[in-house]
Amino acid sequence: MGVLMSRRQTVERVQKVSLAVSAFKDGLREQPSTRRRAESGTARQGTLEQEVQEGEEEASAGPSQPEESSASKAAWERLRDGRGVEPEEFDRANRFTPPAFIRPKRELRDDEPPDISLEQREQILNDEMCEICEVWTAESLFPCRICPRVYHDGCLRRMGYLQKDSAVEVTETAHTETGWSCYYCDNLNLLLTEEEMYSLMETLKNCKIIPGACLTLDDFLHYKHQVHKQQFERTMPEAQEEQAALQFNALDPDKKGHIEWQDFLSHESIQLLQKIRPQNALLRLLTPKERERARAAFLALDQDNDGFIGEGECRQARHTWFRKHQKEMLSCNVSISHVGPISEGSPASSRNGKSPEKILPATKQEETSIDWPAFLRENVAYILAARPNSAALHLQPLA
């Protein structure tokens, strides 16, 4: 499904009408007509030309009052198509055509358990050509830490995905242990199917949520109360309200007093995926880079190599795996095939002076043991929630 823009629709409509006028004029030249038909054609031609003129004036004049009243509709269309930013905010000069985001479809085998072996490592290979221009150059390419796509910084700028305030951050993090997610992987909303997206949009509309707006703590709690009441027909318990407040704090790491729309949308998208899809279906969403990173984390926690880790270690991994510390990370000249963030309990992090024993003091003898398949099922939602570049924690782990 392509990205629909209000101004772009106007221009396309003008172009279609112009083609209709041309075809109509050609038909008049080729076919002999009576005086009555000529008069009818002249009247029709005048109507079409008048519509073309009105369309051109509308396009050149910019957003009028009716367009402003339909801004909400346009925002919902962008949300449906996976675009969360108003395209008019970008510098449209010399821009590439935005990509057509195609939402995934559920397959019959999605609910079957995938075969993800702990022992068999996966080869991580990145694309050789830029995803946007499809050209290989000797210049440095920015690799995505989730998928195999790579990008030129100039191409990202021309797409409007690399603004002035984010250019330095992307440049500094793309080749670090933290890594950088491309615009496909950064948007968790693109994981939803059309049916799931329709369900989410209906919920947001019923709760009077405005696309693109920031949410304060009161807005967020009010929304959570409404959703709970619609789903269970009763008031949300106090314990859940406290958990929602903790989630708000996790989505507002800079303590600005509000959460950004894209962070809220990512949070709601991953919440919906947890509710609707079984864990096996979520496991199929993991990319080879994410699976390989999970293997490294599990093997680092399994110190005695018996194939089991403690339940406390598994819970702790949810809190520490994908915390993003871009400002604290120093650039490391890793290869383009680097798999992305590394667990704090991984061998790479232990070389930096952090030992797994200090971070995770609990022993497996004192609690329930968890094997590799259970480890993946318990943590798949948190792995997916760690995709966005934002420092926000889009899925707050339970204590």
Maximum CA extent, the chain? 98
Over 90: is that where the pLDDT of 190 sits? Answer: yes
Does 296 have pLDDT greater than 70?
yes
Q: Rounded to two decimals, what is the model's pTM?
A: 0.69
| Mean pLDDT, rounded, for 351-375 | 59
- Given a contact cutoff of 8 angstroms between Cβ atoms, the answer to whether 157 and 233 are in contact is no
Which residues are paired to 151 by β-bridges?
Answer: 142
Give the other-Cβ count within 10 Å of 253's Cβ. Answer: 15
Judge whether 6 and 88 are in contact, CB under 8 Å.
no
353 — pLDDT class (breaks 50, 70, 90): very low
Nearest residue to 151 via CA among 127, 186, 168, 172: 127
% of residues, the chain, pLDDT over 70: 62
State how far the Cα of 222 lies from the Cα of 228, in Å rounded to an integer: 10
Q: What is the DSSP letter of 110?
A: G
3-state secondary structure of 294: helix
Name the burial class of residue 275, with classes exposed (0-12), middle (13-18) and buried (19+) by CB atoms within 10 angstroms of its CB: exposed
Tokens 């919906």 belong to 272
CA distance 5 to 253: 32
Q: For the chain, give every residue range classified as CATH 3.30.40.10.
A: 122-186
The confidence score (pLDDT) of residue 314 equals: 86
Residue 132 — very low, low, confident or very high, per pLDDT cuts 50/70/90? confident
Q: Could you give phi then psi for residue 258, rounded to 5 degrees?
A: -155, 160
Q: What is the pLDDT of residues 301-342, one digit of tens each?
A: 998 888 899 988 888 777 766 555 434 333 333 333 333 333
Q: If you average pLDDT over every residue of the chain, what do you get?
A: 74
SS3 350: helix
How many CA atoms are closer than 13 Å to the CA of 385, on its beta-carbon side?
29
Give the model confidence (pLDDT) of 198-244 as tens digits: 999 999 999 999 988 999 999 999 999 999 999 898 999 999 999 99
CA angle (89 as vertex; 86, 90 as ends), nearest 5: 110
**pLDDT tens sequence across 238-270:** 999 999 999 999 999 999 999 999 999 999 999
> Among all chains, which residue has been given the structure tokens 């993003």?
324
d(CA 237, CA 29): 75
Burial class (CB in 10 A: 0-12, 13-18, 19+), 297: buried
Is 7 within 8 Å of 59 (Cβ atoms)? Answer: yes
Q: What is 122-186's CATH number, 1.10.3720.10, 3.40.50.970, 3.40.50.300, 3.30.40.10?
A: 3.30.40.10
Dist CA 314 CA 379 (whole Å): 8
Least Cα distance to 384 among 254, 258, 277 occurs for 277
Q: Quick check: 285 pLDDT over 70?
A: yes
Nearest-5° Cα angle at 397, 180 to 249: 75
